[in-house]
Amino acid sequence: MNLGQPLGSVIQGSLIGGLEVRLHPDISVEDMRVGKFLVVQGMRSRFFCMLTDVALGTANQRIIANPPSWEDTFLREVLAGSGTYGTINLAPMLMFTPESNESFSTTNGKSANPFVPSSVTGLASFQPQTSTSMELMPVKTIPTHFSQVYEASEEDFRRVFGWEDDPHRKNFSIGKPLDMDVPVCIDLNRFVERSNGVFGKSGTGKSFLTRLLLAGTIRKNAAVNLIFDMHSEYGWEAVSEGKQFSTVKGLKQLFPSKVEVYTLDPESTKRRGVPHAQELYLSYDQIEVEDVKLCSRDLGLSEASIDNANILYAEFGKSWILQLLNMTNEEIKLFCEEKRGHQGSITALQRKLYRLENLKYMRAACPHNYINQVMRSIEAGKNVVIEFGSQSDMLSYMLVTNMITRRIHHYYVSKAEKFLQTKNPNDKPTQLMITIEEAHRFLDPAIVQSTIFGTIAREMRKYFVTLLVVDQRPSGIDNEVMSQIGTRVTALLNDEKDIDAIFTGVSGAGSLKSVLAKLDSKQQALVLGHAVPMPVVVRTRPYDAQFYTEIGDAAWEEKSDEEVFAAADLAKADLGF
C-alpha cells in the first residue's frame, strides 16, 4: 500500500456507531489491524479515525452457499473485490476543517480536495500546520458517502500528536504506531495536571511503562515525583524480563542529580549495591488512627477496635500506641472502666498492633523527623524514590504510603492556600505526582471516601498534587475515582470487569474495548485521555541503551561498581561516618 493510495470508501455509518468502510479490490483485508490509525477525507473536513473491527462481506448469499474450491484460484480472483470483499469499522476521534482562506480552489465548478496528495488529484497538496496554528475539533459530524480512506502519514501523526522538540509544549514520545516509524507524543504538562493510571495484567510491562513515564516527566521538568517503590524497581536498577538475566537502569542512574533514594530496609539496599541511599525510619508517635484505619484489613481490625483506638488517642495523644503496647490486662480493664472503652476490643487492638514491632523501620522514637526530610527534598525539586526492600508486604506499604502522603496533603493544602491569597509566583507549590502500586488496595470503594488517596484523586489537582496509580485490577478501584483519572496507559487486560473499568467515564467506549482486548501481551499499550488528543495504540518505546542516551542527564558517565563504591566510602569518611 503506497502512501496516498486510497484503501476504501465509506459506505455507511453514524456519529455514535462509527463508519463502515468497504475496502478497494486491491487492498488485502489481512493488511488491516485493529488499532490502526487511518484518515477519512470528506468533502469539507478531514477525520482522524481508529480502526476498531475487520470483517468479510459478500455481494450474494449464493457465494457463501457454494464457495469456490481453494484450488480454483481463477474463480477466487474473479470474485475478489466484487462478489467478495473486506470491510473495516472506524471510530472517528478528531476532525479538522480548514478556514475559508485555506479551503478549496474550484475546478469546473467542483470543490478540489486540499488533503489528497497531488499525485492522486493533480492539485496542490494540503500544507501541514504547526501544533499552535492547527485546531483539531471533537467529531460532531461524519463524512459523506464514498469518502475515501487513507493510511495516516507521518504528517498526520505530527498534526495530531505533535513532536518531541516542539518548543511550545513539553511533549514526550511514549512509543510509535504499530506499523509506522514515527513517534507518538503525550503532552506532559497536561499529563501531570490530573491523576493518571498505568494498567495491565501481570507480566505486560506495567513497571517499564511507569518507569518510562517517570523518566520523561523528570527529563522535561514537568513535575516532581514521589515514588513509593514497593518492589525496588525504580530507584537504582531493576531486573529486565526475558529468558536471559539482565538489568535496566533506574531513575537514580539516569538522573543522579535529580533523584534521591530513601530506604526502609538499609541492609537490602546495601546488598543490591545502591549507592547514596538515605535511611528512613518512622516512630510510633507519628502513627495516627487514620493510618491504622487504612491498614485495618491487613491487621485484621474490627470497627470496634478503631473506635477504641480513637478513645486511646483522645486520652494519650501521640503516644497512644506506646501506651497501649505497654499496658497490662489490669491497666486495660481500669482504663475501660474510666473511659467507657471496650476491654475485648482494646485487647484485640493491642495484640494486632504488636505486629508493628517486627517492622525494621519502626522505632519507639527517632532522633529527627525523616518525613520532614523527605518533604525538604521535594521542596528542593528532588524526585524521591522510597524503597521498601524486604519490607514490601501490604501492611508496610499501606502504612508508610499513608503516613507520608497524609502529611504531604496537609503541607500542600496550606501552601496552595497561601499562594491563592498572595498570588506571588514564589509561593506557588511545585507540581507533585505521587506514584503508588497496587492502587486498588488504597482506592477500594469500601474505604476510598475516608482515605487520603481518594481525596487526592478527587480534588487535590487544585492543590498541585496528582496521583500516578499502577494496578493490574482496575475493577477494584472506585468508579468515581476512575472517572477522575485523566490519562490511562493500558496494556493487555483479559478480565471483562477490568476492561469495563478502564473506560469508566469515556465516551464511545464500546468501539475501544475490542481494541484493548486485541493488544499483544508485550510492549503494546492503548493510550487515551487528557494528555493525548485522541486514543491511540502504540508499540511502547524500548527502555534500552538508546533510551538512556536520549533521556538521561548528559553529565552522567557510566562508572564501574568499584569506582561507585569507592566514591561512596570517601563521602562517608568526609562526613565522619
Structure confidence by residue, pLDDT tens digits, 122-132: 333 333 334 44
Residues 6+ positions from 91 with CB-CB distance below 8 Å: 18, 19, 49, 50, 52, 508, 511, 512
Residues 6+ positions from 102 with CB-CB distance below 8 Å: 114
**536 touches 527 (CB < 8 A):** yes
Whose CA is closest to 484, among 196, 191, 188, 189? 196
Going along 512-563, which residue ranges are E strands?
524-529, 536-540
Structure confidence by residue, pLDDT tens digits, 490-511: 998 888 898 888 888 777 677 7
Q: Tell me the C-alpha distance between 443 and 506, whole Å.
A: 19
Predicted TM-score of the model (pTM):
0.81
**270-282 burial code (b ≥16 CB/10 A, e <16):** eebebbebbebbb
Q: Which three cell numbers stand for residue 427?
A: 509561593
Q: Tell me the C-alpha distance between 351 and 311, whole Å.
A: 17
Going along 44-176, which residue ranges are E strands?
46-58, 84-96, 106-107, 110-111, 137-138, 148-151, 171-176
Question: In the block, which residue shows the cell 495484640?
Answer: 351
Class of the 191-275+368-491+546-563 domain?
A: alpha beta
Residue 20 has pLDDT above 90, yes or no: yes
Structure confidence by residue, pLDDT tens digits, 221-278: 889 999 998 888 888 887 776 666 778 888 998 999 899 999 988 888 888 888 888 8
DSSP 3-state assignment of 499?
Answer: helix
* 158 sits in which H/E element: helix 154-161
What is the C-alpha end-to-end distance of the chain, expressed in Å?
Answer: 67
Average pLDDT value for the chain: 81
Question: In the block, which residue shows the cell 495523644?
Answer: 317
For the chain, what are the domain ranges?
A: 8-161, 191-275+368-491+546-563, 285-360
Categorize the per-residue pLDDT at 577 as very low, low, confident or very high, splitting at 50, 70 and 90: very low
